[in-house]
Amino acid sequence: MNGKIPLSAEKISALAGAGTVVRVFDIIDSTNNEAKRMFEGGFCGKAIVAAEAQTGGRGRLGRTFYSPEGTGLYFTVIIPPVFPIEDISLLTPAAAVAVTRVLEKLSGKALQIKWVNDIYLGDKKICGILAESVLDIDNGGFTGFAVGIGINISTQDFPEDIAGIAASLGANANRNEIAAGIARELFAFAENLSAREFLPEYRERSYVAGKDIYFIKNGEKTNATAIGIDEDGGLIVRLENGETEVLRGGEISVRVR
């Protein structure tokens, strides 16, 4: 544990507020996978699933999320279907604002959001977010939503393929307090997601707005300039031919040139 305060279901639960189920694991394949297993078992409330380490941590576009024991915070916030599915594109931006708010408050470090789901300290990624929906096949709706969040708190040795782009928060922050704080913020956003209360802050924290970027969509690389964020969390870009396009989440990767 490297001297860090261990994750505690009791402590997270006390900080997260009434009505939130908390499960903590020493090691797990993926907290998002566990959330899905809970849904399959009939769970339908609010919950936090956290782990000291993951063997199969996942990110967007099929990527893995490096999840070594004791030096990060790997957890999933489970949200019941309290908002219409039409607002699903707003869930990741809301989570990103929840993460940056809490981490800044507890660490004092200025953070930015790289569209759509990465949290940056300076020019390096310290956190990734993966929001997934779970279908209710019997009723034709949704059972709920799983928002996976992986934060590098004190990790130093990263695999070679991410060593140049990954970093850690580097603050002596209490992981139980971080997990509970982010969940509280996200639950509050989800209750009125369509109000977009978080959107001005998401725009203000943009790491890419105003920068020359390229994006990869359907395997094709395109140069552009990031202009801003639209009302649904899409990234507005200006192409080299002067036309504008709005990028949505899904199978799109964005990089600063």
Does 165 lie in the same domain as 89?
Answer: yes
Rounded distance, CA 42 to CA 132, Å?
17
pLDDT for 3 beyond 50:
no
Does 217 lie in the same domain as 122?
Answer: no
Whether 153 maps to a domain, the answer reads: yes
Report which of residues 160 and 201 the model is more confident about. 201
pLDDT for 105 beyond 70:
yes
Range scoring the smallest mean pLDDT among 32-36, 168-172, 211-215, 231-235: 168-172
Per the structure, the complete domain to which residue 249 belongs is given by 212-256
Given 204, 224, 240, which residue is the final one in a domain? 204
Whether 83 maps to a domain, the answer reads: yes
Whether 236 maps to a domain, the answer reads: yes
Given 204, 220, 236, which residue is the final one in a domain? 204
Whether 1 maps to a domain, the answer reads: no
Does 224 lie in the same domain as 190?
Answer: no
Does 148 lie in the same domain as 127?
Answer: yes
Whether 226 maps to a domain, the answer reads: yes
Global pTM value: 0.94
pLDDT value of residue 216: 93
pLDDT value of residue 1: 40
Does 229 lie in the same domain as 196?
Answer: no
Q: How many separate domains does the chain show?
A: 2
Identify the CATH number of the domain in which residue 249 sits.
2.30.30.100
Does 234 lie in the same domain as 173?
Answer: no
Average pLDDT over residues 150-166: 92
Whether 3 maps to a domain, the answer reads: no
Does 72 lie in the same domain as 181?
Answer: yes
Contact 165, 125 (CB under 8 A): yes
Does 144 lie in the same domain as 242?
Answer: no
pLDDT value of residue 48: 98
pLDDT value of residue 62: 59
pLDDT for 100 beyond 70:
yes
Does 40 lie in the same domain as 110?
Answer: yes
Does 81 lie in the same domain as 48?
Answer: yes
Report which of residues 95 and 142 the model is more confident about. 95
Whether 151 maps to a domain, the answer reads: yes
pLDDT value of residue 2: 40
Whether 199 maps to a domain, the answer reads: yes
pLDDT value of residue 148: 97
pLDDT for 63 beyond 80:
no
Identify the CATH number of the domain in which residue 170 sits.
3.30.930.10
Closest CA to 191 of 93, 94, 96, 119: 94
Range scoring the smallest mean pLDDT among 20-34, 61-75, 153-167, 197-211: 61-75
Given 204, 230, 246, which residue is the final one in a domain? 204
pLDDT value of residue 58: 75
Report which of residues 76 and 217 the model is more confident about. 76
Average pLDDT over residues 76-81: 96
Does 196 lie in the same domain as 81?
Answer: yes
Provide the mean pLDDT of the chain.
92
Does 54 lie in the same domain as 171?
Answer: yes
